[in-house]
């Protein structure tokens, strides 16, 4: 586990604050000052912050069905609802792995396992994330090809790994999409470039973790061995 993640999980600090404290030389590991936030904390390392020895948190893995209108952070004084309104404080300090924008819903993984968070979030691991998207029109073969080949937007190349039309009618279509990179608001940006309106967006799977029968606002726990990442 990286030192900045370890510190954030074991103290009152946010991950950003933890990185700043480390760079300022405020953290000791095995009696010596470490200024590298990416330092890998080993099992028997003694980490000290302000004279106090920090201990590892027990790993937690929570699947949460984020409803539309909820902001994907635990504290936001400008948001009507955030994750803190649904996940009890008694479960300790957990973090969302990636985010869903306010107008999207579906599967979120919350954990204090920094290494798992890193593996899911970093594009080099190509972790699959599946979405169901309602759009206001039919999806042409030409647009499907463009989505797979890649669409340039703001210096990013946005592409999907897989596209399948689940339902279609005169009022629009329900599309299944598979992403492996997860750039910010990637799906909405893709459809905007195609001139197509997104009516709803729901994430239903991350790797082998599925939303299942959860309803909006509900959550359940997983064991690490249930997560194939």
* Among the listed residues 95, 167, 160, 165, the one whose alpha carbon sits nearest the alpha carbon of residue 130: 160
Q: Quick check: is 141 catalytic?
A: no
CA dihedral of residues 185, 188, 189, 192 (deg, nearest 10): -160
Q: How many CB atoms lie within 10 A of CB 171?
A: 9
Tokens standing for residue 158: 């946005």
What per-residue string of b and e applies to 42-72 under the rule 16 or more CB within 10 Å gives b?
eeebebebeeeebeeeeebbbbbbbeeebbb
What per-residue string of b and e applies to 118-136 under the rule 16 or more CB within 10 Å gives b?
ebbeeeeeebebbbbbbbe
Catalytic residue among 101, 141, 153, 156: 101
Strand partners, 174: 134, 167
CA 156 distance to own-chain centroid: 19
Tokens standing for residue 211: 């939303």
Tokens standing for residue 115: 């290494």
Helix (H, G, I), strand (E, B) or coil at 127: coil
CB distance 151 to 201 below 8 Å? no
Q: Which residues are catalytic?
A: 101
């Amino acid at each position: 586990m990286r030192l900045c993640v370890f510190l954030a999980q074991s103290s009152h600090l946010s991950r950003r604050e933890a990185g700043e404290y480390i760079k300022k030389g405020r953290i000791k590991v095995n009696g010596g000052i470490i200024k590298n936030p990416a330092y890998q904390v080993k099992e028997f390392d003694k980490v000290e912050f302000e004279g106090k020895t920090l201990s590892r948190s027990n790993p937690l893995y929570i699947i949460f069905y984020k409803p539309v209108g909820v902001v994907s952070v635990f504290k936001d004084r400008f948001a009507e609802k955030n994750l803190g309104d649904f996940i009890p404080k008694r479960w300790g300090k957990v973090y969302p792995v990636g985010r869903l924008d306010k107008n999207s819903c579906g599967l979120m993984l919350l954990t204090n396992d920094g290494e798992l968070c890193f593996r899911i979030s970093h594009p080099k691991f190509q972790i699959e994330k599946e979405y169901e998207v309602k759009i206001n029109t039919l999806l042409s073969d030409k647009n499907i090809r463009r989505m797979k080949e890649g669409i340039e937007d703001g210096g990013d190349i946005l592409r999907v790994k897989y596209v399948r039309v689940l339902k279609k009618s005169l009022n629009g279509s329900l599309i299944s999409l598979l992403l492996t990179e997860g750039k910010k608001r990637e799906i909405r940006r893709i459809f905007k470039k195609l001139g197509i309106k997104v009516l709803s967006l729901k994430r239903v799977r991350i790797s082998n973790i599925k939303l299942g029968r959860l309803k909006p606002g509900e959550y359940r726990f997983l064991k690490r061995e249930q997560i194939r990442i």
